[in-house]
Every structure is written in C-alpha cells, then in structure tokens.
Amino acid sequence: MKKIFGKPESLSDKQFTYCPGCGHSLIHRLTAEVIDELGIMPRCIGVASVGCSVFADEYFNFDFIQAAHGRAPAVATGIKRVAPECVVFTHQGDGDLASIGTAEIIHSANRGEKITVIFVNNAIYGMTGGQMAPTTLVGMKTTTSPLGRRPETAGYPIRVCELLKGFDGVAYLERTAVNNPANVMKTKRALKRAFETQLEGLGFSLVEILSQCPTGWGMLPKDAVEWVDKNMKPYFALGVFKDIRAEEPQHVT
C-alpha cells in the first residue's frame, strides 16, 4: 500500500498545545514539511521566541534554542555566523518581532543575515491574554484597547513587509495567510522559497503569515478565518514583496 499522508519527520511526537483554531500549529507543520522536502533536517537550527510559540522548540526533531523576547534574530545571527553550514530560522509572533524586537529585525535584515524568519501576525498578544499588538487593527478591541485601537493615542498597525522591503540586505519577503486551503499551500511555497534563499546564501528571508487567533479575538474558529479575509487582508496586502531571484516582484493581492 502506498503511503500518501503522514506526520513530517521533522515534527516530534509532542502534541501541539495551541488553542483550537490557532494558526501556529499549522505553520509549524508547514515548516516541518518544507524542511523534510528540502532534506535539511539534520542541519536545521530553530530559534523559538517569547509568546504563544515559546515552546516551539518541543515540536521539532532538530536542534533548537529559546531566545529572549524580541531577540531571536540576534540569537540567530550569532548561531549562523558560527555555524554557516546550518540552516537557521526563527519563529516569532507580532509582539515579539514588531514591538520589542524591532531593532533586532531591522538590523538583521539590513545586515543581510542569511537566516529565515517565520513571522506570525495575528494582530494580538496571545500568550499574555489578548493585549494590543503593534499589528492590532484600528478600531480592534483588545484587553488594553477596550474601546478599540485609537490611532490618536496608539498609532497605526505596523506593516512589517512594507517596512523591510527597502533594505538591500533583504533577499526574500512575502506575506501570506493560513485561513483557507489555497492560502495554506501558498504559505508552504513561500516558506520553501525562503529556505531556498538561505540555502543559496542570498541574504535575509522573511515570510509574514497572517494567522487567526480565535481565543484572543473572542470568536469561533470558523468566524476567525473569515475575519482574516474581511479585516486583515485589506490592510495587510498578501504577496511577494521582494524576491531577488525573480526579475519582477509578483503581487497577488
């Protein structure tokens, strides 16, 4: 009998502890599938960050390190410079990457560090109980913006891909989502492209993935996936922002 579906070799037997309907576990699985397909598992090193994915290190079958809040790109820099033969990636949320870790992400991108960043944008701080994130949408209610995010006092959601696009050290930059099967497949392709960019030594690669957080958003998983389409996509355009291997950026908005 031919086996057509199974657990990726790169994933450990540890059961995911994420909430029902959360995008993190899906993204971990896609990451593991890509690593398997590229045949790079034994030389992969993952960097877990702070937030819901703090235990990402437990879900994979290769070396992992847990980093301080926001510092994963600096930690990845140190590892990659010492072990350039390894494939080094970070898995970071929006609070980690776009708030406390803005300096680290900007400068590792600008240095063109040959690392891959998997950036999960669910517009909220999940682990700490649903506070306003740097990517929280205008008007969106959170536990620290109970009346909705007001730009007058809290500013606007940060568009990370648009921010990093201008840095010459960036080799690959794409924003995807995981709210329907087509987007899941596009995310997998983006992750593969990002890892290939690192394998070819071309520079910094990042995939921003719009992800649903039913618990933090206070809605059912089926409503959360629709909410991504209705509210997040209009503000966070999907598409390839930079791919130095391609001649023209291919926007798919």
Only segment of 103-111, 137-145, 175-183, 223-231 that touches another protein (CB under 8 A): 103-111
* Shortest Cβ 220–another protein spacing (Å): 28
43 binds another protein (CB under 8 A): yes
81 binds another protein (CB under 8 A): yes
86 binds another protein (CB under 8 A): yes
CB closer to another protein out of 55 and 235: 55
| Residues in 106-135 that interact with another protein by CB under 8 A | 106-107, 111
If 0-12 CB within 10 Å is exposed, 13-18 middle and 19+ buried, where does residue 15 land? Answer: exposed
164 binds another protein (CB under 8 A): no
CB closer to another protein out of 64 and 195: 64
Q: Which residues of 111-139 are buried (b: 16+ CB within 10 A; e: fewer)?
A: ebbbbbbbbbbbbbbbbeebbbbbbbbee
Q: Give the whole-angstrom CA distance, residue 194 versus residue 59.
A: 21
209 binds another protein (CB under 8 A): no
CB closer to another protein out of 63 and 229: 63
* Shortest Cβ 189–another protein spacing (Å): 26
Q: Which of 161, 192, 171, 179 is nearest to 30 (CA)?
A: 192
236 in Cβ contact with 121 (< 8 Å): yes
Ranges of H-type helices in 83-180: 94-95, 102-110, 151-154, 160-164
3-state secondary structure string across 155-220: CCCCCHHHHHCCCCCEEEEEEEECCCHHHHHHHHHHHHHHHHHHHCCCCEEEEEEECCCHHHHCCC
236 binds another protein (CB under 8 A): no
Pick the binder of another protein from 45, 118, 171, 194 (CB under 8 A): 45
Only segment of 99-107, 129-137, 202-210, 223-231 that touches another protein (CB under 8 A): 99-107
- Contact set with another protein (CB under 8 A): 41-45, 47-48, 54-55, 57-58, 60-68, 71, 74-83, 85-86, 103-104, 106-107, 111
